[in-house]
Chain A
Amino acid sequence: MLRMENVKKFYGQVCALDGLTLSIEDGALYGFVGPNGAGKTTAIKIMAGILYPDEGTVTIDDMEAGAENRRLKRRIGYVPDTFGVYHNLKVSEYMEFFAACYQINGLTARKRIAKLLGLMNLSDREDFYVDALSRGMKQKLSLARALIHDPKILILDEPTSGLDPGTRFEFKQIIGELSEQGKTIFISSHILSDISELCTDIGIIDQGHIVMSGRLNEVMKMVTEQNPIVITMAARITEAIRLLKAQPQVRSLSIRGNDIRINYNGSQRKEAELLRMLVEAGLPVRSFSREKGSLEAIFMQLTGHGEERTILSWEEGEEDEY
């Protein structure tokens, strides 16, 4: 288990992390999202042991980072957002170098390298110079490097940014495979669709602290329940609005074409009753459903961009123009 408790980090006067607290269960695939400058990379570097927090603790399997650093380093594989290229070094030599950094040498190293390059579909690039590889290949090589010592926890900082769709798909498949092997994966990304496809857990960071975290499906469900109900009418919209306005659970209402969106403060049973009422009134309802929650919507709401999704709305007490 990886746990960060009340971690603070300052760069001069700038507070990059302001009491960050998160915990990641063994075997989880944790998505870490946040706007630029939210403190993602700082948090990742602290986890990887490259930076020390000014306050707070980082523990991995009950070992505090720093105290038993060398043992911890054996458990962590780190893929940064930039790929460090050594000139005049071949792919196999690059891997051998990092294997030697973990004291893995000789036949053991060669076997492991061959296995990892195979996993990344880079076996045929073994004798290529690293700086001659494409971005996607470099990124896969970086992942192979991070796995050279078979770490328990894999920390990936923006692994799919700048990759073409094909390589992104391949990369996601590899991450999925690694997760199935039981590795704990911590992945930071701006590509929210990747996070929602891959991850089991999510943490949203803004201004140096976590604003929401939990199981991805639970977070999605919670947000979905807060989303408006969209009622698509075939005709007679004005009558439908009049009926809806009479319901105490309807807090606000907005219209876009034939769609009526209502912020409804009622249980699922009440929702069903509302639908029955509309149908029994003889109104032609084409569809009636809760707007589905998306990670983008959650992200926008929680990071202070919520107003961007507000549409023409009606509040109780206003005159009905329909």
Chain B
Amino acid sequence: MNINPILKREIMVQSRSLRLPMLVSGINLLLFMTALLGMFGILSRMQLLAEREYGSFLALYGTVVFLAFILLLFVTPSLTAGSISMERSMETLDLMLTTQMSPLRIMTGKLSASAFSVCILLCSCIPVMLLPLVYGGISFSDVAALVLVFALEALVLLCIGLFASSLSRNTVRATAGAYGLTAALCIGFPVLGLLLSPFFRTGGNYFACLLLLNPAACVGSMVAEQTGYGELLSEIFQRMSFVPGNALVRFFVPVSLLSQLALAFILLLLSVVDITPKRGGNRRERKS
């Protein structure tokens, strides 16, 4: 099988570094501490009040899952943010471009290597996500669907990091760019939608469609549906003066995922174009 040489090399290098094991341990420690302390609190309350509050377990599931997602938001873009900028600063990108590796293959190699790390990270988080199964309220298929959404969101975030990396020679700047883009999608667009809502009559604020590109809205919406707070999304759209209850709102998660994957694909292509030598020159070409 013809494995991408970059994937092979990065896995080899990763296996010699403590970065990924430490990341996995740190994130799982935080999630398990949150889950176990939460469960301990709920059980103590149940013993004290002699009431069974199954809703609390769902709320705990939502908290743990959202915390995991926030950690993913912080970790994932940084995994790819240095990938191209570091190759540029070490001048190894030029070496790879002189070989028979196409720019697309270089990018997919980098993306798959980072995706491999994210897969390990996600798989390690599955046990903590399965904790609510002990008391019920969440099915195994719910958790499986959530992990799939996490994986797809991670792919989007990796492409954002890769895009930022292809634009810069400096890893710090690329990482800042990746976080900036992620923040724009997660916070900037909803705020823009809310700010513009007074200027539109009900149903006319199409800026609210930008929520489709919001990874946090997608995951939040899914968790809200799983834990019985499905009306939350309709309320948000209503606040943004967008048609409540239309098809977009009803199928928000799949439409949002498709939109984000389309955005990720565009960002990946732009990154490929950016590192491809071309007539007229690349933006970061400097006089030697």
Contact = CB atoms under 8 A, between A and B. Distances in A.
A208 to B, nearest CB: 11
Contact of B287 (A14, A54, A73): A14
B285 interface: yes
7 contacts: A45-B288, A48-B94, A78-B94, A78-B95, A82-B91, A85-B92, A89-B9
A98 B102 CA distance: 13
A48 B94 CA distance: 9
B16 A88 contact: yes
B134 interface: no
A16 B100 CA distance: 27
Given A86-B13, A103-B100, 10 more contacts: A16-B288, A45-B94, A48-B98, A50-B94, A66-B279, A73-B100, A84-B87, A84-B95, A89-B9, A100-B8
A97 B5 contact: yes
B98 A78 contact: yes
A89 B100 contact: no
A42 B288 CA distance: 7
Interface string A70-106: 1001101010101011111100010001101111010
Interface in B92-123: 92, 94-102
A131 to B, nearest CB: 10
Contact of B100 (A52, A85, A101): A101
A293 B161 CA distance: 57
Nearest to B90: A84
A11 B285 contact: yes
Interface in B255-288: 277-281, 285-288
Given A11-B285, A16-B287, A89 B13 contact: yes
Interface string A39-79: 01110010011111110000000000010001001101010
A107 to B, nearest CB: 16
Interface residues of A, number: 41
Contacts of B91: 80, 82, 84
A9 B278 CA distance: 12
B82 to A, nearest CB: 12
A42 B92 contact: no
Contacts of B277: 49-52
A37 interface: yes
Given A89-B12, A100-B8, A54 B280 contact: yes
Nearest to A10: B281
Nearest to A36: B288
Contacts of B2: 103, 105
Interface in B1-46: 2, 5, 8-9, 12-13, 16-17
Contacts of B9: 86, 89, 93, 97
A89 to B, nearest CB: 6
B78 to A, nearest CB: 17
Contacts of B279: 52-54, 66
A80 B287 contact: no
B75 to A, nearest CB: 20
A86 B278 contact: no
Contact of B5 (A9, A78, A84, A101): A101
B286 A11 contact: yes
Contact of B281 (A54, A93, A97, A149): A54
A100 B105 CA distance: 12
Interface in A1-36: 9-11, 14, 16
A54 B2 CA distance: 36
A50 B288 contact: no
